[in-house]
Amino acid sequence: MSDLAKKKIEVSGLSVSYGGVTALDSISLDVYEHEILSIIGPANAGKTTFLNCINRMIDSIPDARVQGTVKIDGDDVRQVRDVNALRRRIGMVFPLPVGLPMSIYDNVAYAPRMAGKTDKTRLDELVERCLRQSALFDEVKDRMGDLGTKLSGGQQQRLTIARALSMEPEILCLDEFSIAVDPVTTMRIEEVLKELRKEVTIVLVTNLVQQAKRLADRTALFLDGKLIELDSNEIIFSRRTADQRTFQYVQGLFG
C-alpha cells in the first residue's frame, strides 16, 4: 500500500491484559482503506483480543485492561459515546457460526431493525443483497422463514457474514471464519471477500497461512501478544522477511 492510501484504522501502543496476564503488548499498526489486512499467528497470540479492541467487545470482559489507542477515521474508539453505533460500522464474523434463534430473514434484518430501520421493502432489498453478497441467497431464497439455526454449519457461517454486512459496515473483521466450514465453502467466501474489498476495509484473522497469502494485501504476524512483522504479502511470503520467525512461521517450521 502506498503512503497515499487513507488510513482507516490506526492502532498505537495497544496493550491488553486479562487480570494481569498480558494478551497484547503495545501493538502499533495501521490498516488502510479498502485493503485486506490479514493477521496470522499461533494460538494465544492475541489475534481475537485485537479484533475485540476494534469494536470494543472487549468492554464486556470485566477483568480486561486496555491501554493505548485504536482510531477509526481518526477518532479514538474508546472516546465514542454510542458504542452501538460504533459496532454498526464494524461487521464482525466469529470463528464458529452463530445463527441467532430466529428466521433466516430475521437474522439478516436483525441489526437494521435494532437500529430502527423497519421499512419492509427496503429491508427485503437489503436482506437479498446481503445474502447474495455472502453467496447464500440461491440456497435459501425459498425458505427465508426457516430458523437460521437449522442451516448447515457452512451455510450458517455465510448467514453470519450476510448479517455482518447488513449494516453496510465500513470495516469487516473476520476471526478464523473457515474453522467450521468446508474447503469449497471457504473458497466461495474468499471470492466474496475479494469482491467486498471494493467497498469495505477487511481485517482477516486466520490460522491458514495460505489463506492470508491468497487474500491479503498485507499480512501481520502476531506472537505472544507482540507484533513481530507487518509487511506486504510479497515480503512476508518471501525469503526477505525482516524477522527470521516470520519466515519460519510462514514456512510451517515454527516451534
Partner 1 sequence: MTDTTSGTDEGQVSTSRRIAAIVEPAIEWLIRLCGFSAIFFVFGIFFFVFSSGADFIMNRLDVVEFMTSPEWYPTSVSNKRYGTLALVAGTLSVTTLAMMIAVPFGLGTAVFISEFCDGPFKEALKIIVEFLAAIPSVVWGFIGLAIMNPVIIDVFNAPIGLNVLNGGVILGLMSVPIIVSIGEDALKAVPDTYREASLALGATKWQTVYKVLFPAARSGLLAAVLLGVGRAIGETIAVLMATGHAVQIPNSPLDSVRTLTATIAAELGETAQGGDHYQALFAIGVLLFIFTFAVNLTADLLVRGIKNK
Q: How many Å apart are CA 197 and CA 204, to the nearest integer?
A: 11
**Interface residues with Mg ion (CB under 5 A)?**
48
> Please, which residues bridge with residue 27 across strands?
14
User: Is residue 56 at the binding interface for ligand ATP, with CB under 6 A as the rule?
Assistant: no
Provide the CB-side half-sphere exposure for 107 (13 A, CA). 31
Nearer to Mg ion, 41 or 112 (CB): 41
At closest approach, how far in Å is the CB of 201 from ligand ATP?
20
The DSSP call for residue 98 is -
Secondary structure (3-state) at 35: coil
Report 181-240 residues binding ligand ATP (CB under 6 A): 207
Judged by CB under 6 A, which of 1, 7, 10, 61 binds ligand ATP?
61
Query: Which CB atom, from 48 or from 55, has the smaller least distance to Mg ion?
Result: 48
**Residue 8 · residue 73 · CB < 8 Å:** yes
Distance CA 215, CA 30 (A): 18
Q: Is 45 in the site for ligand ATP (CB under 6 A)?
A: yes
- Could you list the beta-strand ranges (E) of the chain: 7-18, 21-32, 36-40, 64-72, 75-76, 90-93, 171-175, 201-205, 218-223, 226-232
- Please report how close the Cβ of residue 100 comes to partner 1 at its closest, in angstroms: 6
Binding of ligand ATP at residue 49 (CB under 6 A)?
A: yes
Q: Which residue has the cell 499480512?
A: 219
- Least Cα distance to 39 among 208, 170, 248, 159 occurs for 208
Is residue 46 within the footprint of ligand ATP (CB under 6 A)? yes
Task: Choose among Mg ion, ligand ATP, partner 1, none what residue 44 binds, the Cβ cut-off being 5 to 8 Å by kind.
Answer: ligand ATP
Q: Decide which of partner 1, ligand ATP, Mg ion, none touches 23; Cβ closer than 5 to 8 Å per partner kind.
A: ligand ATP
Interacting residues with ligand ATP between 6 and 35 (CB under 6 A): 18, 23
160 binds, among Mg ion, ligand ATP, partner 1, none (CB under 5 to 8 A by kind): partner 1
Please say whether the beta carbons of 107 and 155 come within 8 A.
no
- A 10 A CB-CB count for 89 gives 16
Q: Binding to ligand ATP by residue 178, rule CB under 6 A?
A: no
Residues in the site for ligand ATP, rule: CB under 6 A?
18, 23, 41, 43-49, 61, 207
